[in-house]
């Protein structure tokens, strides 16, 4: 019994050494397809090629028939696109060092269209499938399955694990790019195969397995089998990593402390992809700048439109210049009370100064409740605006009229001052003379 235990210990040490990939240059693994070891001694089953597959099978054999065993390995799938994977990978027991004639895409580098499902394959595999294939009745595009001699799983479950504390199910994404641990435990006396998935940080897998299969595996395998890994890509590419694998010839869950869990590099980008990314970022920023400038311009346009003076057809015919409300607002200092000259039936009159000059003006602002209607306003502007005479003050704008500092003509005429009567009689005479001269000129012409 002691010698048997000693032999088992030696076998265990050999397995741990062989599968830790510290001696991969010695030909421990037979590689096929696109499978390679990278600079970190990680097994990379697929590269950046579409519709490719990779295989890596141990050169030594594993006694599996009528035996219990436990296998743990750490893996990761890094897809080309974060939200969409390729096809997936498998851990397989095979009677040969590799599976010749295997196909890519939905066949996972394990079988092909011809040999898929044949009992003569003697292959048992645990698939980590990231593509839903209706052909094989896959449950979803993120699941773990137990396959025997074919790609139609005899048992499958969505990727995740059951929490030991409350028993709740925690989802895991196989294409997250993070390192995960898969535990495969088979008890020959119980003829039960348990498969458990969990994050790489877990010291031991959860107590409740992800999926189980009650079946005697001895009827499907040979006495000596090779263990290995396969993976494939389709129209979408992905990198399938296998970092470490441990085996133990008993149906137990071994505590495995990974130590510092490595962070795998992201999917490599081609120079054209980088250029496309840079152009996309620049275009996005440019569009954002254009939209921002357009938005600011539109806001200023709306603000300007609110205060913009729209020239109507009747105003074009009136002649006098139209002042904007802003000009009159500034001229009267905001229509302040101290600028108020007087009030009338038609509105209020304010003292002001024309912008850009020192000329004093009077601004009449008509109120909404004024007795003056639009017709009266138009008549006033049209009549006064067309008057031209040397002795009459010219109307500068139909919304304003000049403030006469010394009073209006009517007020001065009605005064009893003799001087004023003489002044205005002289003005009237001069006016008649001017009119007579103007009429004479027209008749002579």
Contact 67, 193 (CB under 8 A): no
Pairing of strands 238-248, 69-79: antiparallel
Q: Can you tell me the distance from the alpha carbon of 91 to that of 56, in angstroms, rounded to the nearest whole number?
A: 10
Q: Can you tell me the distance from the alpha carbon of 29 to that of 292, in angstroms, rounded to the nearest whole number?
A: 59
**């590689």: which residue's tokens?**
31
Cα of 91 vs its chain's centroid, Å: 36
Q: Can you tell me the distance from the alpha carbon of 298 to that of 264, in angstroms, rounded to the nearest whole number?
A: 49
Binding residue ranges: 364
Binding residue ranges for ATP: 364
The stretches of 196-307 forming alpha helices (DSSP H) are 271-307
State whether the Cα torsion 387-393-394-398 is positive or negative. Answer: negative
Total Cβ atoms within 10 A of residue 229 = 27
Give the pair of three-digit tokens for residue 410: 């009517």
DSSP for residue 337: G
Contact 76, 178 (CB under 8 A): yes
Contact 353, 322 (CB under 8 A): no
319: left (phi over 0), alpha (psi -120 to 50) or beta: left
Pairing of strands 238-248, 224-232: unpaired
Q: Can you tell me the distance from the alpha carbon of 319 to that of 304, in angstroms, rounded to the nearest whole number?
A: 25
Q: Can you tell me the distance from the alpha carbon of 157 to that of 140, in angstroms, rounded to the nearest whole number?
A: 9
Q: Can you tell me the distance from the alpha carbon of 401 to that of 68, in angstroms, rounded to the nearest whole number?
A: 110
Cα of 93 vs its chain's centroid, Å: 43
DSSP for residue 390: T
Cα of 247 vs its chain's centroid, Å: 44
């Amino acid at each position: 019994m002691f010698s048997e235990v000693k032999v088992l210990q030696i076998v265990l040490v050999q397995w741990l050494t062989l599968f830790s990939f510290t001696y991969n240059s010695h030909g421990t693994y037979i590689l096929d397809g696109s499978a390679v070891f990278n600079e970190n001694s990680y097994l990379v089953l697929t590269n950046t090629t579409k519709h490719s597959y990779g295989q890596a099978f141990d050169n030594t054999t594993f006694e599996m028939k009528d035996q219990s065993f436990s296998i743990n390995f750490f893996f990761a799938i890094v897809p080309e696109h974060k939200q969409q994977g390729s096809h997936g990978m498998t851990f397989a027991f095979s009677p040969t060092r590799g599976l010749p004639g295997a196909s890519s895409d939905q066949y996972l580098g394990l079988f092909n269209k011809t040999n898929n499902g044949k009992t003569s394959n003697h292959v048992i595999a645990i698939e980590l499938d990231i593509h839903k294939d209706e052909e094989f009745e896959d449950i979803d595009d993120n699941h773990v399955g137990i396959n025997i001699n074919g790609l139609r799983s005899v048992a499958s479950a969505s990727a995740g694990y059951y929490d030991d504390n409350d028993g709740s199910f925690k989802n895991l994404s196989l294409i997250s790019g993070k390192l995960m641990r898969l535990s495969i435990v088979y008890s020959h006396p119980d003829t039960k195969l348990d498969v458990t998935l969990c994050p790489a940080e877990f010291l031991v897998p959860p107590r409740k397995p992800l999926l189980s299969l009650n079946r005697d595996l001895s009827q499907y395998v040979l006495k000596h089998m090779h263990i290995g890994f396969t993976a494939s890509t389709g129209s979408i590419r992905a990198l399938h990593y296998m970092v470490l694998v441990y085996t133990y010839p008993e149906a137990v869950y071994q505590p495995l402390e990974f130590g510092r869990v490595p962070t795998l590099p992201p999917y490599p980008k081609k120079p054209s992809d980088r250029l496309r990314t840079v152009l996309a970022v620049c275009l996005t920023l440019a569009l954002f700048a254009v939209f921002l400038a357009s938005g600011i311009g539109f806001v200023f346009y709306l603000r300007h439109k609110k205060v913009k003076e729209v020239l109507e057809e009747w105003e074009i015919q009136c002649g006098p210049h139209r002042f904007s409300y802003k000009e009159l607002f500034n001229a009267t200092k905001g229509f302040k009370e101290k600028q108020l000259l007087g009030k009338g039936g038609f509105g209020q009159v304010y003292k002001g100064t024309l912008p850009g000059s020192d000329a004093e003006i009077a601004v009449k602002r008509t109120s909404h409740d004024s007795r003056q209607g639009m017709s009266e306003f138009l008549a006033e502007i049209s009549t006064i605006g067309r008057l031209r005479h040397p002795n009459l003050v010219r109307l500068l704008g139909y919304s304003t009229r000049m403030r006469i500092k010394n009073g209006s003509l009517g007020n001065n005429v009605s005064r009893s001052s003799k001087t004023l009567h003489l002044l205005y009689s002289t003005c009237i005479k001069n006016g008649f003379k001017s009119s007579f001269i103007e009429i004479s000129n027209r008749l002579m012409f």
